[in-house]
Structure 1
Amino acid sequence: MAKAKRRRVRDTWKEKDWYTIKTPIAFGDKEIGDTPSRDPDFLIGRRVDVTMRELTGDFSKQYIKLRFEVENTAGNIANTKFIGHQVTSDYVRSMIRRGTSRIDVPVVVDTKDGYKYKLHVLAITTRRAKSSQQKFMRETIHDLVKNVNSDKTFEDVIESAVDGRLASQIYHKAKKIYPLKRVDIIKSKVL
């Protein structure tokens, strides 16, 4: 019987270097993690999810997940760009109750500096609204978001959407149409 040759297995783990992942300057250029990679080019396009609590230390914002994508590397530092955010599904479910209406409004915003940005606004009424009232509310929120963000830069739109200032503006304008319980921007995405 012939002996089978043993192949030598190459340990690729030892060839890898560790890279520190950092947020964009708009989010404070903070360190959000470490990742191994054999080649820095393999890092480009890698996505990282971070909660707002991990970034700011504010426990009241734990339900907001921020998404970053590695854009380039410099030495052992991987720089990221912001690609969107999302509110956790359990938080959204906790806001909706029987006898209320859920009004979803997707809006595509063009910023002053040429970025396209999709925002998903969620408005919850105190009582069930008629379909005509919901339609009017949708149109009003859509127009308001377009008008407010058309003259802002990309960083300003991100900041106001994530920290809740835009949702607060929408709430105060839209509650005149129908009593609202809550308004949130539950999702955003850079197009």
Structure 2
Amino acid sequence: MAKTRKVVRKKVGKSWYRLIAPKVFNRNQIGETIASDEKKLVGRIVNTHFSEASGDVTKHYIKLKLQIRKIENGDAETEIVGYEVSKPFLQRMIRRRSTRVDNYVDLILKDGSAVRIKGLASTAFKANVSKRSGLVHAFKKELEAKLGEYDLPGLVIALSTTKPQKEISRSLNKIYPVKFVEIRKIEVLKEKKKGGAKKAELKPKETVTVEVPVEYHSPESSIEKREEKAAMEMVEKKIEEMAETDTDALEDAPEDEGVLD
């Protein structure tokens, strides 16, 4: 009978490391992680919320994706590699009888980060085909113009204040009344280029735009539906007439008009 050899596995000691948010969040501690070797931590992805990194509990709907870039004195330092607004928050902001417009653009930011930025807009009323098409093309141009001037950490902070969203909303309002604009997701496509990107390199790649209208079903009777449809068509016609005769009306709109806080 063959002899069996008993194998004894050595226990490997593990240590705890503090997870440190990026410098833009004042290097706040966002948690702890454990590993047997600090080298195994480098490159690990950490998912957290903007509220945990910044301390601002009102921004709980913003999710951040961080990556550990180095270990120093027991601290695992991270950098931003992703940004996303939660789906339940977006669903609450999109209203009935509105048109949803989705678009995305690829950009090289000022710090050399190559990113894909996905935006979403919702109109105040249901838009016809021509207005919808105009919004799609204008949305793309506004994403390129308003967001390409930031580095990645600066863009994340700016979006949390809704300043870029309000600027985009004011521009889109010149075409058709917009109730809500949000940058729903940012994805890092590749690592930064050393030395950052030059201004000439901030031109985006060719992008494909997608527009998805929101359709709703009402339990009302057919007669009420026809009356409601006729009323909405009258409102849309009135808005278009006002836009054609007085182009300054939408330009003088309040700063926060078109975006829900």
User: TM-score band (shorter)?
Assistant: 0.7 to 0.9
Q: How does 1:86-101 map to 2 (within 5 A)?
A: 86-101=84-99
Cα distance, 1:77–1:108 mapped onto 2, change above 3 Å: same
Distance 1:105 1:60 in 2: 26
1:29 Cα deviation after fit? 1.1
1:168 Cα deviation after fit? 1.4
Distance 1:74 1:57 in 2: 23
Once the two structures are superposed, residues 19-63 of structure 1 have per-residue CA deviations (whole angstroms, 9 ceiling, x without a partner) of: 111111122211111101011111011111221222233332111
Structure 2 runs not aligned, ≥5 long: 190-261
TM-score by length of 1: 0.88
Asked if 1 retains the 8 angstrom alpha-carbon contact of 2:109 and 2:152, the reply is yes
1:123 aligns with 121
Cα distance, 1:113–1:6 mapped onto 2, change above 3 Å: closer
1:11 aligns with 11
Distance 1:154 1:34 in 2: 24
Distance 2:161 2:66 in 1: 17
Q: How does 1:24-173 map to 2 (within 5 A)?
A: 24-173=22-171
Asked if 2 retains the 8 angstrom alpha-carbon contact of 1:137 and 1:174, the reply is yes
Asked if 2 retains the 8 angstrom alpha-carbon contact of 1:100 and 1:125, the reply is yes
Distance 1:87 1:153 in 2: 19
* Structure (1/2) with the larger strand percentage: 1
Q: How does 1:172-191 map to 2 (within 5 A)?
A: 172-191=170-189
Higher Rg of the two aligned structures: 2
2:169 alignment partner AA: Y
Cα distance, 1:4–1:152 mapped onto 2, change above 3 Å: closer
Distance 1:97 1:147 in 2: 27
Question: Over aligned residues, Cα RMSD in angstroms?
Answer: 2.0
1:11 alignment partner AA: K
Distance 2:90 2:187 in 1: 18
Aligned residue pairs, count: 189
1:177 alignment partner AA: I
Distance 1:73 1:123 in 2: 40
Asked if 2 retains the 8 angstrom alpha-carbon contact of 1:120 and 1:186, the reply is yes
